[in-house]
Amino acid sequence: MESIRIEETGLNLEATELRLGLPGRDKIEKETISSFNKNKRAAPKSAEDDESKANDDIKHHHHEAAPAAKAQVIGWPPIRSYRKNNFAPKKAEAEYGNYVKVSMDGAPYLRKIDLKVYNGYTDLLKALENMFKLSIGEYSEREGYKGSEHAPTYEDKDGDLMLVGDVPWDMFMSTCKRLRIMKGSEARGLGCAV
Amino acid sequence: MAYSFPEEVLEYVLSFIKSDKDRNAVSLVCKSWYEIERWCRKRVFIGNCYAVSPMIMIRRFPEIRSVEIKGKPHFADFNLVPEGWGGYFYPWVIAMSKAYPMLEAIRLKRMVVSDECLEMIAKSFKNFRVLVLSSCEGFSTDGLASIAANCRNLRELDLRESEVEDLSGHWLSHFPDTCTSLVSLNIACLGSEVCFSSLERLVSRCPNLRKLQLNRTVPLEKLPNLLCRAPQLVELGTGAYSAELRPESLSNLVNAFTGCKKLKALSGFWDVVPLYLPAIYPVCCGLTSLNLSYANIQSPDIIKLVSQCQNLQRLWVLDYIEDSGLDVLASCCKNLEELRVFPSDPYELEPNVPLTEQGLVSVSEGCPKLHSVLFFCRRMSNAALVTIARNSPNLIRFRLCILEARAPDYLTNEPLDAGFGAIVENCRKLRRLSLSGFLTDRVFEYIGKHAKKLEMLSIAFAGDGDMGLHHVLSGCDSLRKLEIRDSPFGDQALLANAAKLETMRSLWMSSCSVSYGACKLLGQKLRRLNIEVIDERGTPESRPESCPIEKIYIYRTLSGPRFDTPNFIWTMDEEGNSPLGIA
């Protein structure tokens, strides 16, 4: 077979349009490939840059949602699925769920819910509304749950009674010890700014 | 007058020659030796299930008792090989059921095995003894029930990390009361609870049981029941290593472990409650292998364990061990040969634990017998790699994974070329190497120049251009398997080194710069290779020839193109015409 001389030619990547997937796919994946001829760090870092440029709405949404928002390159780092699926997460309660008691003023018995199954406050409040057949209304930093019949509160690690919604979801998940749904009349005291 | 060795004598001599390489060499001496050898070969290893067909194997070796076959390319472990790629065991089992009624052992890796295959095994081979399914998939616990129920002389059932459709744990109860032959049972990958009393009875009646790897659902409280019925165990994989705190729990466990005087290997340790770790202290000094890679215990607990395992040869652990733990390992475990450190939080770019390149340097300093390393970390330097290379000239396997792709030397910001260069230059026995970090073509120059014994090379996000690949293909004399992803290697290097591909088992390239045109050209020129273009975007014919293909898998074969390719794989044909794309 004829030998082909190897010369150190640069690669004309624009012409070759290398992609990982179907056209119109993630900008992140495109950057992975187009950056490999430059002295630059790869996808994960540039993906994070992308994320920080993303608009506030999306950021806020990610904030409340479950963590997996980091862009990941397929198959990197090279860890087998078996290992990924079988590794026990760090938190001890992760195995058993994060169950907290929920009491509602006037109800004959308490309920228990697993905070881990909810994506954020909206999800949680909707579930509580369903469970206790009531309406809770919209949270506002200034007014709490003003205008609704009930206000969701919780007891934190220090034993203090707090209004649900003030702190980021992750912080709430780790500090909430039990939930209490207060009647609107009582709750108004909490909701007022001091 | 030619003196000729009686066949029987030669056969007798050959019965002592077990290694495949030696057997292959024997068969090349002359035609009569070839004939004698093929009739008495009992074990065959097929590194690529598509390199040869079942018929070719059966035709050449009529008396096989043990087969070992590998299917999917290694990168399938990291989801780079699309679903439906192939690697089906079915055609093999059908052919062997007729040709090898006396077959005793089947060992498969990365193959698709259906329940039907398992049923065939159970029915067809009366003297079946060993079934090892490593990273396989496609079967359910129903298939396992067939094996348990029908294989009267079963010695080994090892499901190593396979993906099993877990319908229930009931299958284990299918082992008949007459089954007393088990030597090794590994069900660690199964999720369902097996009937504990069945397991207990099975363990009791198998006096030769040496290896037992339980699954996560076997509770710690029940472990003593099993251990006291099998004190002869050499390898144990625990189930979940946590239990409700009861006063007798710990003492029962300690007593049980104390009774296992032959225990050499421990694994399992899911969901560890550190309180119960001291139970294994009695066996630590005898341990040669410890797998803590699923145990989320922190450095102090790991140190307490490891410092008691002076005879440890193999340690698999999470990065929770930290540099401090690796220091202790280096000072206590002078017989250490293999170290694997896995990341506890692989997708987090910020360090979550103080584990750095220093830990690995310590181990290389303290453990003179170290020969196999798999190390995940967040930073590396050329200086550290040079030191490691100097300390461990006997390295055989060196796999380094810096979590952030293309991370440079964290001290100098330079590429890690010099560091890996030192590894290949000093470690003359190196057979396997996985690269990571920021690397230019220069590292490949070093590899091509020095890594003469290298058999397997894994490349990701590395190199500048075709020269890199050219160095490797033209310089690495022993290269058998090359796998590359996301690196700018393309047509020129491949075409210039096409002949090299026939001396290798396989080449995988994904997200590189190989054009469709080059693939067609290779297909024309290399008759004894399958050039398989994998492209999920649809037929490469619909795009210009200069357009790079997504993935390519090239392997040598005696069987021509395969007939089970899915619709996203095109095998380049000999005419350079429209490729064979058989649905």
Q: What residues in A contact B414, CB-CB < 8 Å?
A: none
Q: Is pLDDT at B328 greater than 60 in this prediction?
A: yes
How far apart are the CA of A185 and the nearest CA of chain B, in angstroms? 44
Q: Is pLDDT at A62 greater than 70 in this prediction?
A: no
How many CB atoms lie under 10 A from the CB of residue A114? 12
CA distances from B59 to B20, B28, B29, B96, B312 (A): 18, 17, 20, 11, 45
How many CB atoms lie under 10 A from the CB of residue B486? 27
Q: Do B296 and A89 touch (CB under 8 A)?
A: yes
Q: What residues in B contact A21, CB-CB < 8 Å?
A: 536-537
Q: What residues in B contact A40, CB-CB < 8 Å?
A: 406
pLDDT band of A56, cuts 50, 70, 90: very low
Q: Which residues of A142-160 are buried (b: 16+ CB within 10 A; e: fewer)?
A: eebbbebebbbbbbbeeee
> Which pair of tokens denotes residue A68?
């997996």
Q: Do B511 and A73 touch (CB under 8 A)?
A: no
Alpha-carbon gap, residue B345 to A70, rounded angstroms: 13
B49 close to B70: Cβ distance less than 8 angstroms: yes
How far apart are the CA of A147 and the nearest CA of chain B, in angstroms? 42
Q: Do B77 and A89 touch (CB under 8 A)?
A: no
pLDDT band of A109, cuts 50, 70, 90: confident
**In this predicted model, which residue has the larger pLDDT, B10 or A158?**
B10
How far apart are the CA of B472 and the nearest CA of chain A, in angstroms? 13
pLDDT band of B443, cuts 50, 70, 90: very high
Interface test with A, best of B461, B470, B549, B550 (most A CBs within 10 A): B461
| pLDDT attached to residue B35 | 94
B488 close to A37: Cβ distance less than 8 angstroms: yes
How far apart are the CA of B545 and the nearest CA of chain A, in angstroms? 10
Pairing between β-strand B314-318 and β-strand B338-342 as defined by DSSP bridges = parallel
How far apart are the CA of B546 and the nearest CA of chain A, in angstroms? 7
Picking from B79, B467, B547, the nearest residue to A6 by CB comes out as B467
Report helix, strand or coil for B44: strand
Q: Do B80 and A74 touch (CB under 8 A)?
A: yes
Pairing between β-strand A178-183 and β-strand A99-104 as defined by DSSP bridges = parallel
| pLDDT attached to residue B576 | 57
Q: What residues in A contact B460, CB-CB < 8 Å?
A: 76, 78
A110 close to A103: Cβ distance less than 8 angstroms: yes
What interface predicted TM-score (ipTM) does this complex get?
0.89
Q: Is pLDDT at B245 greater than 80 in this prediction?
A: no
Q: Do B511 and A43 touch (CB under 8 A)?
A: no
The model's pLDDT over B398-439, given as tens digits with 9 standing for 90+, comes to: 999 999 999 999 999 999 999 999 999 999 999 999 999 999
Beta strands in chain A (DSSP E): 99-104, 111-114, 150-155, 161-163, 178-183
Whole-prediction pTM value? 0.78
> Which pair of tokens denotes residue B400?
């380094």
CA distances from B260 to B263, B266, B310, B377 (A): 6, 12, 18, 36
Query: What does the radius of gyration of chain A's CA atoms come to, in whole angstroms?
Result: 25
How far apart are the CA of A20 and the nearest CA of chain B, in angstroms? 6
Q: Is pLDDT at B338 greater than 70 in this prediction?
A: yes
Q: Do A79 and B342 touch (CB under 8 A)?
A: yes
The model's pLDDT over B250-301, given as tens digits with 9 standing for 90+, comes to: 899 999 999 999 999 999 999 898 989 999 999 999 999 999 999 989 999 9
Q: Is pLDDT at A159 greater than 90 in this prediction?
A: no
| pLDDT attached to residue A63 | 39
Q: What residues in A contact B466, CB-CB < 8 Å?
A: 6, 9
pLDDT band of B87, cuts 50, 70, 90: very high
**In this predicted model, which residue has the larger pLDDT, B373 or A101?**
B373
Interface test with A, best of B80, B216, B347 (most A CBs within 10 A): B347
Task: Quote the mean pLDDT of chain B.
Answer: 94
The model's pLDDT over B97-124, given as tens digits with 9 standing for 90+, comes to: 999 999 999 999 999 999 999 999 999 9
Q: Do A36 and B163 touch (CB under 8 A)?
A: no
Share of chain A above pLDDT 90, in %: 6
Which residue type occupies A128? L
Q: Is pLDDT at A10 greater than 70 in this prediction?
A: no
Share of chain A above pLDDT 70, in %: 53
Q: Which residues of B212-227 are buried (b: 16+ CB within 10 A; e: fewer)?
A: bbbbbbbbbebbbbbb
The model's pLDDT over A39-49, given as tens digits with 9 standing for 90+, comes to: 444 344 443 44
| pLDDT attached to residue B53 | 97
Chain B residue closest in CA terms to A37: B464
How far apart are the CA of A130 and the nearest CA of chain B, in angstroms? 33
| pLDDT attached to residue A137 | 79
∠ CA B164-B166-B167 to the nearest 5 degrees?
Answer: 140
| pLDDT attached to residue B122 | 97
> Whose CA is closest to B69, among B85, B82, B57?
B57
CA distances from A71 to A44, A45, A85 (A): 6, 9, 19
| pLDDT attached to residue A188 | 60
Q: Do B79 and A95 touch (CB under 8 A)?
A: no
Q: Average pLDDT, stretch B456-472?
A: 96
| pLDDT attached to residue A55 | 44
Q: Average pLDDT, stretch B28-42?
A: 93
B309 close to B282: Cβ distance less than 8 angstroms: no
Picking from A36, A45, A80, the nearest residue to B487 by CB comes out as A36
Q: What is the DSSP-derived secondary structure letter of residue B165?
A: E
Q: Do A87 and B344 touch (CB under 8 A)?
A: yes
pLDDT band of A13, cuts 50, 70, 90: very low
How many CA atoms within 13 Å lie on the side-chain side of B559? Answer: 15
CA distances from B378 to B163, B281, B362 (A): 30, 32, 17
Q: Do B405 and A44 touch (CB under 8 A)?
A: yes
How far apart are the CA of B249 and the nearest CA of chain A, in angstroms? 20
Alpha-carbon gap, residue B333 to B342, rounded angstroms: 19
Q: What residues in A contact B76, CB-CB < 8 Å?
A: none
C-alpha dihedral, B294 to B295 to B296 to B301, nearest 10°: -150
Q: What residues in A contact B270, CB-CB < 8 Å?
A: 86, 88
Question: Which residues are CB-neighbours of B560 under 8 A, at least 6 positions away?
Answer: B530
Q: Is pLDDT at A36 greater than 70 in this prediction?
A: no
pLDDT band of A86, cuts 50, 70, 90: confident
Q: Do B405 and A83 touch (CB under 8 A)?
A: no
How far apart are the CA of A81 and the nearest CA of chain B, in angstroms? 7
∠ CA B291-B292-B295 to the nearest 5 degrees?
Answer: 150
CA distances from A136 to A156, A180, B278 (A): 20, 12, 51
* Among the ranges given (A12-16, A143-147, B82-86, B143-147), the one the predictor scored with the smallest mean pLDDT: A12-16
Q: Do A41 and B405 touch (CB under 8 A)?
A: yes
> Which pair of tokens denotes residue B358?
């220093």
Q: Is pLDDT at B242 greater than 90 in this prediction?
A: no
Q: What residues in B contact A70, CB-CB < 8 Å?
A: 347
Share of chain B above pLDDT 70, in %: 97
Q: Do B498 and A36 touch (CB under 8 A)?
A: no
Chain A residue closest in CA terms to B439: A39
Cβ contacts from A onto B, under 8 A? 137
Q: Do A20 and B550 touch (CB under 8 A)?
A: yes
Picking from A6, A20, A48, the nearest residue to B492 by CB comes out as A6
Q: Is pLDDT at A138 greater than 90 in this prediction?
A: no
Alpha-carbon gap, residue A162 to A179, rounded angstroms: 9
**Positive or negative: CA dihedral A134, A140, A142, A147:** negative
Q: Average pLDDT, stretch A125-154?
A: 84
Q: Do A42 and B461 touch (CB under 8 A)?
A: yes
**In this predicted model, which residue has the larger pLDDT, A191 or B315?**
B315
B39 close to B10: Cβ distance less than 8 angstroms: no
Phi, psi of A152 (to 5 degrees): -85, 130
Q: What is the DSSP-derived secondary structure letter of residue B347?
A: T
∠ CA A125-A129-A132 to the nearest 5 degrees?
Answer: 130
Report helix, strand or coil for B152: coil
* Among the ranges given (A106-110, B288-292, B575-579), the one the predictor scored with the smallest mean pLDDT: B575-579
| pLDDT attached to residue A65 | 39
Q: Is pLDDT at B578 greater than 90 in this prediction?
A: no
Question: Which residues are CB-neighbours of B323 under 8 A, at least 6 positions away?
Answer: B354, B355, B356, B358, B359, B362
How many CB atoms lie under 10 A from the CB of residue B130? 20
The model's pLDDT over B2-19, given as tens digits with 9 standing for 90+, comes to: 566 788 898 899 989 989
How many secondary structure helices (H) and strands (E) does chain A include? 8, 5
How far apart are the CA of A14 and the nearest CA of chain B, in angstroms? 11
Picking from B80, B347, B492, the nearest residue to A70 by CB comes out as B347
Q: Average pLDDT, stretch A124-132?
A: 89
Q: What residues in B contact A9, CB-CB < 8 Å?
A: 465-466, 492
